[in-house]
Chain A
């Protein structure tokens, strides 16, 4: 795979993962358990949206086809989205949202830490900026996971079953394809398998503090990053893209 193609796909994976998760978190606005949590979750969503925009803007330039950020976000279909399947999973209760966030925040932490030293200077700069945001996201989500896991019997049970349900989507985080191999060779992006130990070192102590049991690893099956999605992404995109598709090019 030519490096330019790989780089573009990598950027879309990063952008789509942040964008889809931002959209999911946005669903909490007006519905979070507390006013303060409403703002807290929305802040994380807006950080992620900002990251997605930076990745899209760079992707748009690299692609050179005149597709704008908006075109990339709002005019691609399910099969063209390259986000991790983990982030398109429905919010469920607040505990499930937190579990999903912990798994993803830990991943973005180790990923952006690597990427801030990428041989691609623009990518490195975006990663360095995003890393600061992600450190706060992690503080927020990990803090909540410990509270809920080490909370009441009810809250413990809920986050444990959310963890049992979502853990299977983490295999995808560390599976490599030709995109990753091409970029790892030129030190643009890491080989995903290389991040797994750091990710576990981040996640495991929090699971321990939260008195949660790490579910067994299951073989890698989901390929969101290759455009193969669960049934949930289509619904999410329908809502997210509706406005742009109904009024193409509208601005305010």
Chain B
């Protein structure tokens, strides 16, 4: 068998239903964006998981550096007053 280049990796985001945000669900290999959408549809929406798909090439994602985690995230740890826990949420409000 001849060797061949792997298709690039795409990250897949699915919107479960209208009004919700797209959530990262996984990744697929595909030759281009169109194929990535089709692969995402076939791999991740077979059980009615979604109404909308985003794909983005994995190499285009810029990630934070794990080595900087302390500097980035530690300062938020002692600021509980930022949590929206000091007022009651009405029962009618879903998906908050």
**A-B complex is real:** yes
Selected from B28, B29, B31, B42, the residue in CB contact (under 8 A) with A43 is B42
Residues of chain B touching chain A, judged by Cβ–Cβ distance below 8 Å, are 7, 28-31, 34-35, 38-39, 41-43, 46
A36 contacts the other chain (Cβ, under 8 Å)?
yes
Chain B neighbourhood of A140, CB < 8 A:
38
Give the distance in Å from the alpha carbon of A147 to the alpha carbon of B7 in the complex: 14
Question: Quick one: which of A126-150 are within 8 Å of B by CB?
Answer: 136, 139-140, 143, 147
A–B Cβ pairs within 8 angstroms, 6 of them: A34-B29, A36-B28, A39-B42, A43-B46, A136-B41, A140-B38
Give the distance in Å from the alpha carbon of A139 to the alpha carbon of B34 in the complex: 10
Give the distance in Å from the alpha carbon of A39 to the alpha carbon of B28 in the complex: 12
With contacts A34-B7, A147-B31 taken as known, whether A40 is within 8 angstroms of B38 at the C-beta atoms is yes
Smallest CB-CB A-B distances: 9 pairs = A36-B39, A40-B42, A39-B42, A43-B42, A36-B28, A39-B43, A36-B43, A140-B38, A36-B29
Give the nearest-CB partner of A36 in chain B: B39
Are B38 and A139 in contact, CB atoms less than 8 angstroms apart? yes
Chain B neighbourhood of A35, CB < 8 A:
29
Give the distance in Å from the alpha carbon of A147 to the alpha carbon of B30 in the complex: 12
Q: What DSSP secondary structure best describes chain A's contact surface?
A: helix
Chain A neighbourhood of B38, CB < 8 A:
40, 139-140, 143
Give the distance in Å from the alpha carbon of A36 to the alpha carbon of B37 in the complex: 11
Are B30 and A36 in contact, CB atoms less than 8 angstroms apart? yes
Chain A neighbourhood of B46, CB < 8 A:
39, 43
- Interface size of A as a range: 10 to 19
Are B34 and A36 in contact, CB atoms less than 8 angstroms apart? no
Chain B neighbourhood of A34, CB < 8 A:
7, 29
Excluding A36-B42, A39-B43, A143-B34, 10 further A-B contacts by CB distance (< 8 Å) are A34-B7, A34-B29, A35-B29, A36-B28, A36-B39, A37-B39, A39-B39, A40-B42, A43-B42, A140-B38
Chain B neighbourhood of A143, CB < 8 A:
34-35, 38
Chain A neighbourhood of B41, CB < 8 A:
136
Give the nearest-CB partner of A154 in chain B: B2
Chain A neighbourhood of B35, CB < 8 A:
143, 147
Give the distance in Å from the alpha carbon of A37 to the alpha carbon of B7 in the complex: 12
Chain A neighbourhood of B30, CB < 8 A:
36
Give the distance in Å from the alpha carbon of A2 to the alpha carbon of B39 in the complex: 46
Give the distance in Å from the alpha carbon of A147 to the alpha carbon of B35 in the complex: 10
Rounded to whole Å, the gap between the CB of B32 and the closest CB of chain A is 9
Give the nearest-CB partner of A34 in chain B: B29
Which of A34, A36, A40, A140 lies at the interface centre, i.e. has the most chain B CB atoms within 10 A of its CB? A36
Chain A neighbourhood of B7, CB < 8 A:
34
Which of B34, B42, B43, B46 lies at the interface centre, i.e. has the most chain A CB atoms within 10 A of its CB? B42
Chain A neighbourhood of B29, CB < 8 A:
34-36
Rounded to whole Å, the gap between the CB of A129 and the closest CB of chain B is 15
